[in-house]
Structure 1
Amino acid sequence: MYTPKTAPMRYLLLLTATWLGIFTLTRAALLFTHLDEAGHAYLSIFTIGVLNDLAFLVYAALPLTLFVLLCPRRLWVSRFNRWLLQGVLAVSIYAMLFTAVAEWLFWDEFGVRFNFIAVDYLVYSDEVLNNILESYPIGALLGGLGVLTLVICVLLRKPLLRALHAPFPTFRQRAAQAAGVAVLVLLSMQFLDQNSLRSQGGNTYQRELASNGPYQFFAAFRNNELDYQQFYGTLPEAATAEQIHAELNQPGVTFLGKEPMDIRRTVSNPGTPRTPNIVLVTIESLSGKYLGSNGDPRNLTPNLDALRKQSLYFNNFYATGTRTDRGLEAITLSMPPTPGRSIVKRIGRESGFASLGQHLSEVGYDSVFVYGGRGYFDNMNAFFSGNGYRVVDQTSVDESDISFKNAWGMSDEDLYRQAVKLADADHANQVPFFLQLMTTSNHRPYTYPDGKIDIKSGNGRDGAVKYTDYAIGQFLAEARKKPWFDNTLFIFVADHTAGSAGKEDLPVQNYQIPLFIYGPKLIEAREEGKLASQIDLAPTLLGLLNMSYTSTFFGRNLLLEDNLPPRVLIGNYQHLGLFDGQDLAILSPRGGLRLHQQALGESHEIASDADNPLIKRAIAYYESASYGFKQRLLDWVPENHTPQTASTP
């Protein structure tokens, strides 16, 4: 017969109550440091939060419950087992305290509980561990957690001893207790699903604060991809096809696809084709708000501010996501951010696409992806080598050529020096080059070579931004001395902004980034205010080359005059959005359809349905992109070959 007075249940309750206390204190600390963002929904945050914590705890209790069920009395009362259980309590407390600190630091960086990013960081542990060691006083943190764990264990010593010396239950009692825990697990699975609890109203901060970090971490392992048809709103196939074709029907376009949702088409750009050299620099975390020309008074970007006056500059340009792999996906494949992982990281399905590099290689370019770090991070090497590029990363560079490096890679100056070497070699061989660079310096721990700028290395993002700008100035100064400079287009664009957190699931203003296209002998300098997306960069670049090609891109040529309605596509791993310059349509799992009116202002959210014109446009992009990926309609097909359509699984 079940009784809470037995030793195993007392121990289990002591253990889980301690964890629950740590979870509650973590939530309280996060809440009271973000009161303005979270509003006054304290009761709902803690009520839903406790339910989420309990849902995690019943799962966590299963291993100990199974041990108790099978443990004979002689083993339970042994000195070894009592020391073991005291050790389990101490280790688990330390682990929960460590998790609390990790959640605090993760929230400070991303404004959310653990998610896909945390899982990715665990996978790429070398970079992340070095980053942590360089960014935080890790020894002091771990030592402090050890002291705090010892204090808690001392405070719990008496209740622990009472629990261990309580009567040991019979097998029938243990079986009943195990059955009770199993029932709680089933009830939790049925009624305390954390995704449904997270959807119970409130802004993003409120939902994230009410979540349980460890649960979200483990859930991210199994939710790294979401099937669009299963989880998101859809339209009839004919309606989706008609809408997406209308979105992409610019002058010079002829659709070729035999399937309704196939967007493969010929793009005929006017003018004589040309093959200037191209250097496309994707800059880590460069928010437009840091530019002095956008009103920042700190003079962090003097070189970019000067470059803006000499470039075709897009001042209404948006990233598709909040991570580097999303930016690379959008720039390289011209694709919206489909739910789950980016295509860059979908191991086994990351190659074979009709990429920007493939198109340029087809007409004789040497397409090279040049990364300041180690390209296995975020699966970059596999993605780029499988999509028409050769790869040069930190491991390809002699140590003698690296003047400075940190956890994420070599300094931007070293990266640009490698780019100049590659450009010199291709120019000597009379081969046009396409160098697609990815920088690393504007990333925590924000370290860079000493003596370059007037902000000390490792002193925050302001210094990293200023060093990033300094390195660009040095690179262009060196490039101007080269015989290939006059015939080279330089493109500078951010992968994403420096901060993506906000009260909304998709805070539009936190996706805005700069785009510079610079070539004083090739393109007229001017400012362009058209609403534009990272997915528009590839077709715009090919338009600048007057290049006709077969396209699977979801982007548009921004330099063409057309009557198409404006839009940018933004998202995270779960929510998918389309912003038209005024309102934002959001598609969420479980068929959620919402509209944010005046998304850059008060951002009033209302429920919507698939009949709303903006929702229809969003569905058309994301449904056709997910379908095209699944059915391999976006694959690279050399000229004079017919694409093969995958059968429906």
Structure 2
Amino acid sequence: MRHRFAFPLRYFLFWLIFFVAAKGVFLLYHLPKAAGLSAGELGRVFGYGLRLDASAAAYLSIVPFALLALGSLLPARFPLSRLLGFYTAVLGIVVSVFTVADLELYKAWGFRLDATPLQYLDSPTEMAASAGSAPLLLLLVLAGLLILGWLLYKKVCGALPPLPPGFGRGRAALASLLYLALLVVPLRGGVQQIPVNQGDVYFSAHPFANHAAVNVPWNIVNSLFLQNGGPNQYQFMLQAEADRLVREMYAPAPPADSAASQLLRTRRPNVLFVILESFTAKFVAGTGGEKNVTPNLDSLARTGVLFTNIFASGDRSQKGLVSLLSGYPNQPTTSIIKYPRKTERLPHLCQSLKQAGYSSHYYYGGELAFANMKSYLVAAGYDQFTERLDFPLSQQNSKWGAHDHVLFDRLLRDIKTQPQPFFITAFTLSSHEPFQIPIAPKFAGTDETALFRNSVYYTDWALGRFLHAARQQPWWDNTLVVLVADHGHPLPGNDANESPGKFRIPLVLAGGALRPEARGRVIPTYGSQTDVATTLLAQLRLPTTAYQWGYDLLRPARAPFAYYCFTDGLGFQWPGGGLGYDNVSRRPLFIVGDSSQLRRAQAYEQVSFEDFLRK
């Protein structure tokens, strides 16, 4: 017969077993990656991960242990056993849904589920689209986890036994309170001075092994607490030294030939700023990528100005938006766009150009509310917005909204009445997962890479169709076209999360406003999305001092570089080398070339995150 006072231990054990089983499901779902681990590493995934599993189990046990203490003081007819079962069922469903969502999102994002998806709760349709075409297998996995949880609860916990005869309710409540107090040990991951953190389960040189050891519910809650206000968790050195290193990084090179660095033949051209969804450099021939995927962009690159070593600052659309339009770097575990109070303090191209007499319009075929983009763009001061709801239902023919050729057709129609000079931003969407396109595929295959390749080809086709018509318009000769990606992509090739190939993107300047002698130029300078705003404003001879995290790519810093970040890690590229660094394990993932550059990369992350906290 089970004893009443063994129930708390059994309840804690139930969650612990469930989390270990969930870890096994993660490894099975990602079997190709798990197969690359040795038997010893697989064992350590479970062994090291046990501390976070126990911590998560302890957190989930707080309410039941408190209910046991309270219920011990209430009459026997109080439905304590049913209340505990109901609480566990609700938490079991929530934990199972998170566990299953993590299985597919890890494929797309390369990191375990954290608070990132919470940015999309106000736009659930886009959140679903962001996950791609998740297989029906996930529904079976979810059902299996729920059944497993139910069977485990019945087997390990069962019904709550009554109090032993003659055992006083006060003594029973005190015993339950003792169990509640003892939860502090697993909550903290032990009795050491510093509580358990994600780095405590990192043990391998293989990032996948470390990721597999992480407990998903614990990771979600932990990331919520980490992203809200400091202190600076990226303190690698004294702040004065970090500030000095960053200042040196932006020290200008010796003065260049001003004539050679001036690309425009007119002082106040229109600016058409086109942000291309997921346009990785791996699909652009001019940047060394595959041929014939983006023939129109390649043609523009040959007749315009092509920058061949540009890197996205982050790996999500909303992060790229802030870097491109405000010249502001990304944060490793959050995004400044989530904090309207902070984004209101950022500079913005729209604001800078409005002061110079530009009208403005922002075009997007999807919903601007997605990932809090609208609050950021409204604060930027755009005169007009065109988004999904502004298109007829018949034209909302993509999972995200209106396909790219529909967007460009609307832009071409509206631009005739746009006051000049204008600053128009257009953000495409069809090359986002699930890679649906309204034309026949160009390339064979039905795997994810083939679908992605065809979606990029379609967006390029829509762009070429638009530009062909635009060249016939009277505004074209006085227009500078900026074409740049919001971020790169792990495909093709399934680049690792920290890989520079995942972050390398095209940047092309084109249009009738270019000087004839500037056409065909190739600029190999290393740079980031944060440098685009500064470069554009410098061409327009407008102030750039507010854009402190960018430099003019045509008159670069003394030692050009590109910084990017991924989930709790950073990347740093420079001519002749590059590195990736894991902030959790506090060790490099790779270093090619000068290892002393790590110090500069860490200084950049420390100073930029400190600036984010102060905003």
Q: 1:575 and 2:569 equivalent? A: yes
Contact 1:23 1:53 in 2 (8 A): no
Match of 1:135 in 2: 133
**Counterpart amino acid of 2:561?**
R
Match of 1:516 in 2: 508
Q: Distance in 2 between matches of 1:338 and 1:28?
A: 29
SS of 2:342's equivalent in the other structure is coil
1:313 positional shift: 1.4
Q: Distance in 2 between matches of 1:154 and 1:237?
A: 58
**Counterpart amino acid of 1:180?**
Y
Q: Distance in 2 between matches of 1:89 and 1:18?
A: 14
Q: What do residues 300-345 of structure 1 show as CA deviations (whole Å, max 9, x unaligned)? A: 3232233332231122211111111221121112222245433322
1:208 positional shift: 1.0
Contact 1:7 1:163 in 2 (8 A): no
Q: Distance in 2 between matches of 1:627 and 1:154?
A: 48
Aligned match of 2:272 in 265, 271, 279? 279
**Counterpart amino acid of 2:404?**
D
Q: 1:486 and 2:477 equivalent? A: yes
Match of 1:381 in 2: 374
**Counterpart amino acid of 2:468?**
A
1:93 positional shift: 4.4
Residues 557/25 of structure 1: CA separation in 2 closer, same or farther (3 Å cut): same
Q: What do residues 548-579 of structure 1 show as CA deviations (whole Å, max 9, x unaligned)? A: 5544332221223x671121111135334432
Contact 1:566 1:580 in 2 (8 A): yes
Q: What do residues 202-247 of structure 1 show as CA deviations (whole Å, max 9, x unaligned)? A: 3322221110011111122222246464542234537724751562
1:282 positional shift: 1.2
Match of 1:425 in 2: 417
Aligned match of 2:559 in 557, 561, 565? 565
Contact 1:372 1:411 in 2 (8 A): yes
Residues 485/219 of structure 1: CA separation in 2 closer, same or farther (3 Å cut): same
Contact 1:244 1:624 in 2 (8 A): no
Residues 15/106 of structure 1: CA separation in 2 closer, same or farther (3 Å cut): same
Match of 2:395 in 1: 403
Match of 1:536 in 2: 531
SS of 1:529's equivalent in the other structure is strand
Contact 1:570 1:576 in 2 (8 A): yes
Residues 246/365 of structure 1: CA separation in 2 closer, same or farther (3 Å cut): same
Contact 1:204 1:502 in 2 (8 A): no
Q: What do residues 154-190 of structure 1 show as CA deviations (whole Å, max 9, x unaligned)? A: 6865665576579597542453344234323345326
Residues 295/542 of structure 1: CA separation in 2 closer, same or farther (3 Å cut): closer
Residues 31/396 of structure 1: CA separation in 2 closer, same or farther (3 Å cut): closer
Match of 1:262 in 2: none
Q: Distance in 2 between matches of 1:75 and 1:425?
A: 76
Q: Distance in 1 between matches of 2:405 and 2:10?
A: 58
**Counterpart amino acid of 1:356?**
L
1:283 positional shift: 1.2
Q: Between the two proteins, what is the percent identity of the paired residues?
A: 23
Contact 2:312 2:503 in 1 (8 A): yes
Match of 1:325 in 2: 318
Aligned counterparts, 1:571-610, within 5 A? 571-584=565-578, 592=586, 594=588, 596-598=590-592
Q: Distance in 1 between matches of 2:237 and 2:396?
A: 50
**Counterpart amino acid of 1:383?**
Y
1:72 positional shift: 3.9
The normalised TM-score by structure 2 is: 0.84
1:355 positional shift: 2.0
Q: What do residues 281-304 of structure 1 show as CA deviations (whole Å, max 9, x unaligned)? A: 111111111235566668432322
Residues 245/130 of structure 1: CA separation in 2 closer, same or farther (3 Å cut): closer
Q: 1:224 and 2:227 equivalent? A: yes
Contact 1:22 1:97 in 2 (8 A): no
**Counterpart amino acid of 1:47?**
G
Contact 1:531 1:568 in 2 (8 A): yes
Residues 507/474 of structure 1: CA separation in 2 closer, same or farther (3 Å cut): same
Q: Distance in 1 between matches of 2:173 and 2:380?
A: 58
Match of 1:618 in 2: 601
Q: Distance in 2 between matches of 1:38 and 1:122?
A: 35
Residues 21/411 of structure 1: CA separation in 2 closer, same or farther (3 Å cut): same
**Counterpart amino acid of 1:56?**
A
Q: Distance in 2 between matches of 1:143 and 1:478?
A: 49
SS of 2:343's equivalent in the other structure is coil
Which shifted more, 417-426 or 449-458?
A: 449-458
Residues 95/625 of structure 1: CA separation in 2 closer, same or farther (3 Å cut): closer
Contact 1:227 1:339 in 2 (8 A): no
Instruction: Report how many aligned residue pairs link the two structures.
Output: 597
Q: Distance in 1 between matches of 2:189 and 2:357?
A: 58
Q: Distance in 2 between matches of 1:588 and 1:137?
A: 31
Contact 2:499 2:580 in 1 (8 A): no
SS of 2:395's equivalent in the other structure is coil
Which shifted more, 584-593 or 622-631?
A: 584-593
Q: Distance in 2 between matches of 1:578 and 1:55?
A: 34
Contact 1:374 1:394 in 2 (8 A): yes
Match of 1:315 in 2: 308
Contact 1:287 1:512 in 2 (8 A): yes
Aligned match of 1:197 in 200, 207, 211? 200
SS of 1:327's equivalent in the other structure is helix
Q: What do residues 486-538 of structure 1 show as CA deviations (whole Å, max 9, x unaligned)? A: 22222211111122998977322221111121225614123222222111212
Residues 564/292 of structure 1: CA separation in 2 closer, same or farther (3 Å cut): closer
Contact 2:282 2:501 in 1 (8 A): no
SS of 2:473's equivalent in the other structure is coil
Q: What do residues 107-130 of structure 1 show as CA deviations (whole Å, max 9, x unaligned)? A: 121121112323323454342246
Q: Distance in 2 between matches of 1:126 and 1:555?
A: 35
Residues 388/281 of structure 1: CA separation in 2 closer, same or farther (3 Å cut): same
Contact 2:287 2:308 in 1 (8 A): no
Contact 1:445 1:458 in 2 (8 A): no
**Counterpart amino acid of 1:210?**
A
Match of 2:250 in 1: 247
Aligned counterparts, 1:158-177, within 5 A? 161=158, 164=161, 171=169, 172-177=171-176
1:33 positional shift: 3.1
Which shifted more, 489-498 or 308-317?
A: 308-317
Which shifted more, 359-368 or 451-460?
A: 451-460
Which shifted more, 318-327 or 620-629?
A: 620-629
Q: CA RMSD in A?
A: 3.9
Q: Distance in 2 between matches of 1:583 and 1:75?
A: 71
Which shifted more, 207-216 or 468-477?
A: 468-477
Match of 1:50 in 2: 50
Match of 1:208 in 2: 211
Contact 1:38 1:206 in 2 (8 A): yes
Contact 1:314 1:516 in 2 (8 A): yes
Contact 1:7 1:167 in 2 (8 A): no
Residues 147/468 of structure 1: CA separation in 2 closer, same or farther (3 Å cut): same
Q: Distance in 2 between matches of 1:151 and 1:238?
A: 54
Residues 302/584 of structure 1: CA separation in 2 closer, same or farther (3 Å cut): closer
Q: Distance in 2 between matches of 1:36 and 1:391?
A: 52
**Counterpart amino acid of 2:432?**
H
SS of 2:360's equivalent in the other structure is strand
Q: Distance in 2 between matches of 1:532 and 1:16?
A: 48
SS of 2:209's equivalent in the other structure is helix
1:61 positional shift: 0.8
SS of 2:457's equivalent in the other structure is helix
Match of 1:442 in 2: 431
Q: What do residues 447-495 of structure 1 show as CA deviations (whole Å, max 9, x unaligned)? A: 2325586779997323322222221122212212211122222221111
SS of 2:482's equivalent in the other structure is strand
**Counterpart amino acid of 2:216?**
G
Where does the alignment leave 5 or more consecutive residues of structure 1 unmatched?
Answer: 254-267, 607-611, 633-649
Q: Distance in 2 between matches of 1:456 and 1:242?
A: 49
Contact 1:287 1:494 in 2 (8 A): yes
Which shifted more, 205-214 or 20-29?
A: 20-29
Residues 575/142 of structure 1: CA separation in 2 closer, same or farther (3 Å cut): closer
Q: Distance in 1 between matches of 2:581 and 2:153?
A: 47
SS of 2:553's equivalent in the other structure is coil
